[in-house]
Amino acid sequence: MLILAIVAAVSMPVGHATNNVHTFFTTATTVGTCGTLCKGLSTTSGTGSTSTVETSLAIGSGPALDANANAMKTGTWSSGTTFTITGLSTTTAADEFIAVIVTNAQAITVSSLATTGITWDASAAVNSAPASCTFRVTAWRGFSTATLTTQTTTVTLSTTPAGASGEIIAFSGTNDPTNTWNPFDKAATLNNVGSQCSGGNSTPTITTTSATLNADDMVIGAFGSSQSVTETAGTGFTLDLTVAAAGQSLAMEHKTVTTTGTQTCDFPTSTNRWDVFCIVLQSAPKYYIIEPETSASLTGTPSTAANGFSGTGWVYDVAGIQNGLFDIQSGTWQIDLTGAVGSTTGTPVARYFVTAWSCTTNSCTTATLLWKNWDTATNVASSTTATPRTYTTGSQSQITWTSGNFLAFEIWVAWQYSGTTTTTTMTETTIRVLVDH
């Protein structure tokens, strides 16, 4: 399954000297104790294997409201160009936050949100200023890495409004621990907006034009109005928060779905000035580490931090590259990976994440990051037939070791989303060969 090359070539790790090619194979002898495939190198033939299998692959459990009673808060403007939303607390460390802000007049924009412990996106996920209306509704996404206790959010506006209000809700089970992907369902044009700004009363409602891709999505309906409206829950929804004030009414609701498809966000109370949109959160990616030549289902979180090697992967004694040669010249690395998914039901999407390390011992408890190639484009769960995938890193600097050092690779399957919660497998072909350039 793992074939790595440096400079322009085929096959396994490592290289030195552009015009000088040496072929090496992993030996049958384990080098030291590393809790994984820890091998030496030789010039004799290696073997291929399809015994590496990840079992019980599936998307994670769906997003949910953070369990803390104070994970939903509202706030209203009174004067100046700022207002606050106070008392926000959470139970789950890695949460996603959705904030919805209504400003009156329409020209008033939100410059920023600031909360200790929350990283807010630099711009709004949704920014709706419906024609002929006098208000603007924006939705913002933030995330945390630790629990919050009675935090205050400061909302800064572009100028002094006639009125403004805001709501924040915390959701667990949707935060990507590597922050590679945002929490929104990846269907295009999913954040649809519907509005009415003239005529008689009508029921605020919008249906997404794209079907959701994930079977365990959380659908959030958001409502804003320049009228004083106390909304109630839409069909199948739980009402979370409301603000009813002239010029700045708000409401948020949520529901969990178990199948893919278009989503309708509605609010039963009729009014003649409204704006409604759907935000859809998907379950967080699940990361499965590939344990060479086993059948296992090991989960964790990829890391690039110092000594962040997971302890599972391929570890090579660099003394086997060539007698007396302990460096790899600068150049690009090519990564060739071959794998197959057990089932494509639900159109699952998964990616390969490869990370390379330099270690001082075969256990790699002391590990220095060499490079990462975390692919976010190629779906490796699209075929039940063993399919080769090729990736290339950017140019890497020369790598120099001393005698007794080790080169390590770990490979993760990032299970990003799926239209089914049914488990499946992935099988990788392990070709234990190395080419030195």
Residue 333 structure tokens: 């690395």
Distance, in Å, from the CA atom of 255 to the CA atom of 218, rounded to the nearest integer, reads 6
Pair (272, 399) in one structural domain: no
pTM of structure: 0.87
Looking up residue 40, the CATH number of its domain turns out to be 2.60.120
pLDDT digit of tens for each residue in the chain (437 aa)? 444 443 322 233 333 333 344 444 454 445 445 555 655 445 555 555 556 788 899 998 899 999 999 999 999 999 999 999 999 999 999 999 999 999 998 999 999 999 999 999 999 999 999 888 999 999 999 999 999 999 999 999 999 999 999 999 999 999 999 999 999 999 976 668 899 998 899 999 999 989 999 999 999 999 999 999 999 999 999 999 999 999 899 999 999 999 999 999 999 999 999 999 999 999 999 999 887 777 778 889 999 999 998 888 777 777 655 555 567 778 888 887 888 999 999 999 999 999 999 988 877 889 999 999 999 999 999 999 999 888 888 988 888 776 667 888 888 999 999 999 999 999 987 654 444 44
Cβ atoms of 437 and 5 closer than 8 Å: yes
pLDDT of residue 39: 54
The count of structural domains within the chain is 2
Residue 286 near residue 181, CB atoms below 8 Å: no
Structural domain containing residue 185: 64-281
Residue 252 contacts residue 220 (beta carbons within 8 Å): yes
Q: What is the pLDDT of residues 231-282, one digit of tens each?
A: 999 999 999 999 999 989 999 999 999 999 999 999 999 999 999 999 999 9
Residue 124 shares a structural domain with residue 271: yes
Distances (CA, A) of 435 to 73, 147, 235, 431: 58, 48, 61, 12
Q: Are 322 and 364 found together in one domain? A: yes
Same domain, 333 and 419: yes
Tell me, what's the pLDDT at 374? 97
Phi-psi label, residue 79: left if phi above 0, alpha if psi -120 to 50, beta otherwise: beta
Boundary (domain end) residue, out of 281, 306, 327: 281
Are 17 and 166 found together in one domain?
no
And the tokens for 157?
């506006």
Judge if 108 and 252 occupy the same domain.
yes
Question: CA dist 396 to 10, 214, 315, 373, 399, Å?
Answer: 17, 37, 19, 12, 8
- 381 lies in the same domain as 256: no
